[in-house]
Chains A and B, each alone.
Chain A
Amino acid sequence: MNNRIKHQEEKDNPTKSEISRRDFFGLIWKSLGVLVGIEVLGSITAFFYSAKNKSTTVAKQLLEAGPVSSFGMNSVTAFMGGRFYLARLQDGGFIALSLRCTHLGCAISWEEKRKRFICPCHSSAFDINGEVLNPPAARALDYYPVMIENGIVKVDIGNLKERNTFNKEQLTYAQ
C-alpha cells in the first residue's frame, strides 16, 4: 500500500524521478564496467592459455639406451642427457628411474658401494628399484617406460610416470 503511494509521489515529483534516472544510468555504467572487466580478464586468460595448450602435445620421445647385453644384472647406468638412471635388477628386469628426488626435486646420485641412490638436499635414500629407504622422501622415484625392440633397450623420456611404491609391473624384461 505504502509503496504504491510512494511510487505515485515519485512520478509527480520531478526531482525524485531525476534521481532515479540518475540511478538508472548509474546502473548502466556499472554494468558496462563489469562487462569491460570480464572482457579484459577473458582476453588476458585467452592470451596466456592459447599458446600454452598448443605446446602440450605429448609425442613419444624414444631414447636408445643400448643393447640388452651391455647391462649387467644388478647394475645402474647413468643417462644424464635423458635425466634418468637405467637400472637392471637381479632378475634381469629393466626400469628407467628419473633422477629427480621425490621430496623436493634435487638430482639424486647412485652410490655404488652401498647400492643406493642418495639425495644431497635432505639426505633421502632410495634402493635400486627406486623404493624409499630413508625419508623425508615419501614416494618411490618416478620412472619412464622402457621398451625392448630387437634386443635394444629404449626409454620413452617424454612420458614420466609417478608412483607411490615399486611393483613388478613397472619392470620390462627382454624376451
Chain B
Amino acid sequence: MHNVLLHIHPAKVSEASLRFNRTFGLGGMAALLIVIQIVTGILLRFYYVPSPADAYNSIIFLKSQVIFGQFIRNTHHWSGVFLLLIAFLHFLRVFLTGAYRDARKINWLFGLVLLLLIVFSNFTGYLLPWDQLAYWAITVGTTIISYLPLAGNGLRTMIIGGKELNAGTLQTFFNFHTAVLPFLLLVLVLYHFWRVRKAGGVLIPETDEKAEMVPVMPNLVFREFIVALVLLAVVLIFSALVNAPLHEKANPAYSMNPTKAPWYFAGVQELLMHFHPFFAAFIIPAGVMVFLAWIPFIRSGDKPTRHWFFSEKGKQSSKATALFAVVITVAGILFNQYVLNFEIAMPKIPALVSNGIIPLVILLFLMAIYYWIYIKRLRLSRSELVQVLFVFLIVAFIVLTIAGIFFRGKDMELTFPWRV
C-alpha cells in the first residue's frame, strides 16, 4: 500500500499545493468513492440477478435475508450520489481556479469524459433494481433520445433493444454498469492522475511559486489519509441511517404519479417542462457540452492569475451573474407555468417554433440586455467573460435541478418540498 501511494505521487510537492482550500481534496475523494463503488458493486453482484423476472426479488432477498445486505446496497446507492456531487464540485474548483489551461488542457477534456462516465454509471445502475422508480425513470430518460433529429428513434431502439424496456435492455445495462464503464473509469482515472503529475502537480497561485518543496511522505499522504477516513465515516454513517429507495416491482402498464427522471437529470427534465424536447434534451445540453469542451481552447491573451475567480472583478461579475441566473431561471419557470404557456397560446404554430425558438430567443435577448447594461461596463478580460457565461450556465442548471427534485409534485405541478 505504502509503495502504491508513493508511486502515484512525486517524491516532493510544493507546500502551497497542500493547503486544503486549494483543492479541497475533491479529486482524491472522487477516487476513493470510485473504489467504494467497485468494492460494494462486486459484493452486490453475488446476489443480484439481471433478469426482469428475478432482479427485483433478488434485491428483496438481499435486503431481508443477507446480513449487511441492506447496508451494502445503501452504501452503493449513497456513495454513487456522493461521487457525482463530489466530481461536480471538483470540476467547479478546477474551472474557478483557472486550472484548465496550457498543460492541463487535455486533463480538462478527459475530466469531462470522466464526469460523463460517472453519469452513465449512475444511469445504468438506476435500472437494475427493476422497480417502478427504475422502470419509468429509465423509460422517460431513454425516450428523450428519440427526439434527436434523424437517427433518434433508431438510436433509442438500438440502446434498449426494442420499443420498450425489456430483458435485453436490462442485460445491456448490467453489462455496461458492471464491466464496460468501471473498466473505462479505472483506466481514465489512472491516466488523469498521470496527467496531473505530468503538468507539475496541481496549479498554485504565482505568488506561492517560491513555496518550499516538501516530501510527500508524510506531508501529502497523511493529509490524504485523514480526508479519506472522514469521507469514509460520512458515507458509512449516512448509509447506516438512510435506506436506498425501493418501490414496487416494475409494472409496464402503470406509471407512478409523478414519474421523475433520475435526480441528476432533474434539470433536463425541468427544461423539458418549458422547451420542446428537441431544444431541452438536445440543442441546449449539446451546446453546453461543446462550450465546456471548448473552454481551454478559447484564446484569452491575458495571463493566468491562478487565483479563485481570476481577480476582484472576476469575483464581482461572477456573484452578480449567479444572482441574475437565479432570478431569471426562477422567474422563467414561474412565468411559463402560470402566466404564459407558449405552446397553448400559439396552437397554430409548430411546437418546435412556439415552444422552442421563441422562448430561446427571448432568453438570449434577456441575457444580451444583462450584458449590455452591466457586464460590458466592467471591461472584463476574455477569460473573465468565459467565466461569466460558465457561472450563468452552472447556476441555471443547479436551480433547474433543485426545482425538478424538490418543487415538482403530483401531475408534475409546482408545489413546495414538504408536499412532494
A residues apposed to B, CB below 8 Å: 52, 80, 83, 99-100, 103-107, 109, 119-123, 134-136, 138, 160
Q: How far is the CB of B269 from chain A (nearest CB, A)?
A: 9
B139 & A105 in contact (Cβ 8 Å cutoff): yes
A135 & B252 in contact (Cβ 8 Å cutoff): no
B252 & A120 in contact (Cβ 8 Å cutoff): no
B351 & A135 in contact (Cβ 8 Å cutoff): yes
A54 to B411 alpha-carbon distance, docked (Å): 41
User: Which residues in window 51-93 of B have CB below 8 A to A?
Assistant: none
Nearest first, the 10 closest Cβ-Cβ pairs linking A and B are: A120-B257, A105-B143, A106-B255, A80-B253, A107-B255, A104-B143, A121-B259, A135-B343, A104-B140, A105-B139
A138 & B351 in contact (Cβ 8 Å cutoff): yes
Q: How far is the CB of B149 from chain A (nearest CB, A)?
A: 15
Interface string of B334-353 (1 = CB under 8 A from A): 00000001011000000100
> Interface centre among B140, B256, B273, by most A CB within 10 Å?
B140
- Interface check B272, CB cutoff 8 A: yes
Interface string of B301-343 (1 = CB under 8 A from A): 0000000000000000000000000000000000000000101
Q: How far is the CB of A130 from chain B (nearest CB, A)?
A: 17
User: Which residues in window 339-393 of B have CB below 8 A to A?
Assistant: 341, 343-344, 351, 355
A39 to B259 alpha-carbon distance, docked (Å): 44
Q: Which residues of B contact A107 (CB under 8 A)?
A: 252-255
- Interface check B163, CB cutoff 8 A: yes
A122-B272 contact, Cβ under 8 Å, with A105-B140, A106-B140: yes
A124 to B258 alpha-carbon distance, docked (Å): 13
How many chain B residues touch A (Cβ–Cβ < 8 Å)?
29
A5 to B341 alpha-carbon distance, docked (Å): 77
Q: Which residues of B contact A80 (CB under 8 A)?
A: 253-254
- Interface check B31, CB cutoff 8 A: no
> Interface centre among B142, B161, B259, B413, by most A CB within 10 Å?
B259
Q: How far is the CB of B127 from chain A (nearest CB, A)?
A: 14
B144 & A120 in contact (Cβ 8 Å cutoff): no
Q: Which residues of B contact A106 (CB under 8 A)?
A: 136, 139-140, 255, 259
A120 & B255 in contact (Cβ 8 Å cutoff): yes
A122 to B275 alpha-carbon distance, docked (Å): 13
- List 15 extra interface pairs beyond A106-B259, A135-B343, CB under 8 A: A80-B254, A83-B252, A83-B253, A103-B277, A104-B139, A104-B143, A105-B143, A106-B140, A109-B254, A119-B255, A120-B257, A134-B344, A135-B341, A136-B273, A136-B351
Q: Which residue of B lies closest to A83 (CB)?
A: B253
Q: Which residues of B contact A121 (CB under 8 A)?
A: 136, 140, 255, 257-259, 412
A26 to B272 alpha-carbon distance, docked (Å): 53
A160 & B163 in contact (Cβ 8 Å cutoff): yes
B residues apposed to A, CB below 8 Å: 136, 139-140, 142-144, 161, 163-164, 252-259, 272-273, 276-277, 341, 343-344, 351, 355, 411-413
Q: Which residues of A contact B277 (CB under 8 A)?
A: 103-104, 136
Q: How far is the CB of B408 from chain A (nearest CB, A)?
A: 10
A99 & B344 in contact (Cβ 8 Å cutoff): no
Q: Which residues of A contact B344 (CB under 8 A)?
A: 134-135
Can you give 20 contacting A-B residue pairs, CB < 8 Å? A80-B253, A83-B253, A99-B253, A104-B272, A104-B277, A105-B140, A105-B142, A105-B143, A109-B254, A119-B255, A120-B259, A120-B411, A121-B136, A121-B140, A121-B255, A123-B412, A135-B344, A135-B355, A136-B351, A138-B351
Q: How far is the CB of B92 from chain A (nearest CB, A)?
A: 30
A160 to B253 alpha-carbon distance, docked (Å): 16
> Interface centre among A107, A119, A135, A136, by most B CB within 10 Å?
A136
Q: How far is the CB of A141 from chain B (nearest CB, A)?
A: 14
Q: Please pick, from B136, B272, B411, the residue contacting A136 in the complex, using a CB distance under 8 A.
A: B272
A121 to B258 alpha-carbon distance, docked (Å): 6
Q: Which residues of B contact A122 (CB under 8 A)?
A: 272-273, 412
Q: How far is the CB of A36 from chain B (nearest CB, A)?
A: 20
Q: How far is the CB of B301 from chain A (nearest CB, A)?
A: 39
A120 & B256 in contact (Cβ 8 Å cutoff): yes
